[in-house]
């Protein structure tokens, strides 16, 4: 696809040739259907529209230095979609069907996989919705599973450069004991007002605190929070935080580098003690943070020199990308090579 300017791609929807779908009806999942249409036929009483029965995933495929296409940890995305489906009473997608669908979308749209070294990737979006019609508050009896994808650039326009973050206390992303650990659309809808306001005020993302006490770090907008302190990789431990596969991978890479990993409650006042701070996720990979400002108090927590990513974050970022692109040994067996 020589007409695509790979280096200038935004992180957004890009039309490709094919998507795949499966349907749960009469107690079983159908075979995969291949579609070129971007439109889903949907009953006006579908539970996804009325009662939020909707969950999704995000994962990436990369064209490696050796020319092979690698899909990063799809088994973990399948597990997380299973967790989300069970969390809001949807019919789970079998792992085999999930991975088969993702592979098929990659193969069918292979010409849209960015070349190695362009700083871009192929983003896959698996989607599970309650498509059966209900008017009473109850789970659907029918479900639709869709996977589509397209080439993307960095989530933040600055790429791997430090960005400012804003702490918000007048909005909560999720409730205690709610849906925070599930990747469901409602969690993101609840974050939009605070996120858009932060963008208008000059910040790239927001940092939500725990909804119960507004004391501990929760989710960093669309990504997980992590910090570096000496030889420690620190990330919050909470039942209201999405289980980021990128964060999970970075923790393992940190251990491989000889670092100590701490998953624990992280109080806001600790921010001033950290050497480096970042947000991590499939879309952002790692976004280093230059400063964090508490919107309620105006207090500013400066991080590093404010202009360059810290040395540990840089090392973690490079190691993760090297594994994904086949430059470094995949000793944990994370990649699935698309034949």
The catalytic residue positions are 183
How far is 298 from 178, CA to CA, in rounded Å? 29
Q: What is the DSSP string of 202-225?
A: T-SEEEEBPTTTS-BB--BTTBEE
285 contacts 246 by C-beta, under 8 angstroms: yes
Helix (H, G, I), strand (E, B) or coil at 109: coil
272 contacts 289 by C-beta, under 8 angstroms: no
The torsion angles phi and psi of 326, rounded to 5 degrees, stand at 75, 15
Beta strands in the chain (DSSP E): 19-25, 28-29, 33-35, 54-56, 59-63, 69-72, 121-130, 143-152, 163-168, 205-208, 224-229, 232-235, 260-263, 276-281, 285-294, 300-302, 335-338
187 contacts 173 by C-beta, under 8 angstroms: yes
């Amino acid at each position: 696809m020589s007409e695509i300017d790979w280096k200038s791609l935004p992180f957004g929807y890009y039309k490709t040739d094919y998507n795949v779908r499966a349907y749960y009806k009469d107690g079983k999942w159908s075979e995969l259907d291949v579609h070129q249409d971007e439109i889903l036929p949907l009953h006006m009483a579908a539970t996804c529209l009325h009662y939020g029965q909707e969950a999704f995933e995000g994962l990436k495929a990369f064209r490696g230095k050796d020319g092979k296409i690698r899909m990063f940890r799809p088994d973990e995305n399948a597990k997380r979609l299973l967790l989300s489906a069970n969390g809001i009473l949807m019919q789970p997608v079998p792992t085999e069907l999930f991975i088969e669908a993702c592979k098929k979308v990659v193969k069918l749209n292979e010409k849209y996989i960015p070349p190695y070294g362009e700083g871009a990737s192929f983003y896959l979006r698996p989607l599970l919705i309650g498509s059966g019609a209900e008017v009473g508050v109850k789970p659907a009896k029918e479900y639709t599973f869709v996977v589509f994808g397209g080439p993307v650039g960095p989530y933040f326009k600055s790429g791997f450069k430090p960005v400012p973050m804003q702490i918000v206390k007048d909005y909560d992303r999720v409730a205690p004991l709610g849906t925070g650990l599930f990747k469901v659309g409602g969690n993101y809808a609840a974050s939009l007002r605070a996120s858009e306001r932060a963008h208008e005020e000059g910040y790239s993302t927001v940092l939500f605190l725990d909804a119960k006490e507004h004391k501990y770090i929760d989710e960093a907008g669309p990504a997980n929070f992590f910090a570096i302190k000496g030889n420690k990789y620190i990330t919050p431990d909470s039942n209201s935080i999405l289980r980021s596969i990128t964060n999970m991978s970075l923790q393992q890479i940190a251990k491989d580098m000889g670092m100590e990993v701490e998953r624990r409650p992280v109080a806001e006042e600790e921010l001033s003690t950290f050497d480096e701070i970042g947000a991590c996720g499939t879309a952002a990979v790692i976004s280093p943070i230059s400063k964090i400002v508490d919107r309620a108090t105006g207090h500013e927590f400066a991080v590093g020199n404010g202009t360059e990513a810290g040395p540990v974050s840089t090392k973690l970022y490079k190691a993760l990308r090297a594994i994904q692109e086949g430059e470094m040994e995949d000793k944990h067996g994370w990649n699935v090579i698309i034949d």
